Structure 1
């Protein structure tokens, strides 16, 4: 066995799982993500492993072999030189300097491997407070346990979670009297509320809830489409266009000059959540037509 192989074996024996630690992978999520704790831990690992390698590299070949033999063969009865023993102690002391790796949620909830299973949760009749809060930021509720989170999470991420949870609680889980039994919130009602209040929730969450809603509908087209169309002309048409563009600009942040806009799809999602539907191309056509009546100054704002 070469000296390098001996050093590698010693490092692996002493530091074990530390060598396998990897920084969590960030995924797209409404939850903010702060990687300070992970960057610090990665730097500590790099420093400690470097120091351990330096300590072992300072040994002669026989001394390195003594440390190797002590760890893999001799145990506490195996005799080593004072220099070899000092290096061994230094390596073990370095291991003690490494704190426990930060939890996956230390920087926030948008972490690969802990994504919410929206297909499963959308089938539920209702969600509790913690479930609804977790799902709204894209994290799997079953991976969540409130008690240890506060102490191990970045304060900024914790503040985001607590504020989101408070919004959900005040809307759906606030008791009007002490003995009131709070009912779970239906997925459709929750998504409708979030969109109405412009609370960012995962697109997949909306898609799965809508997919189940559409599956329950016997008719492929909403009943509103069976109503006879009424032609609009003159002032009545202008009034409608004014309403459309003002609601789109002020309500959805629609930019009339944008080449591509996500707003038509967002409007369609809101319609579907309320039992209606319209092709995004049709929505886009009406928005363009309505935008034409805006004063130029308003378009540039």
Structure 2
């Protein structure tokens, strides 16, 4: 893990997707100039940063925050919130600097960071538990490969849910499966860092 001056980075009004992906992966963008989010080939050591970049790129800013994407897609506070909601844990020093920035600014309808953000809320823990159950059942019951690029089991799951009297569309099922896969990947990455 790099030493990062999060105070400097959080003071900026804008981050590029590349900078954000590296910062949220606890890597200093100035020290990792070889990381390219557009690279088609794998870049060892940057797997988590690539996943974070994908979250940033694919976030529906308007639906999530009720504002045009050009207003928030480069704002560090909104980027961190979108990545946090995708199941990634933000570095604690970054959360502290975000909370300090927000305490100095005029109140606005932005996601809030503060003392309690270092540990997960009860709702976040419940959601992550639910996602862990989803990925476990999908892998065990449907033999889903969590590392495959496409999910081939959503239709089969939808039919089983309909038989049980629960109607969900394929897009909703895929959305939750993708979120569960990202959570699984981040848990595995965290375990590898501990080992």
- Common fold: TM-score over 0.5: no
Work out which of the two has the higher radius of gyration on C-alpha atoms and give 1 or 2.
Answer: 1
Q: Which has the higher contact order (CA 8 A, sep 6+)?
A: 2
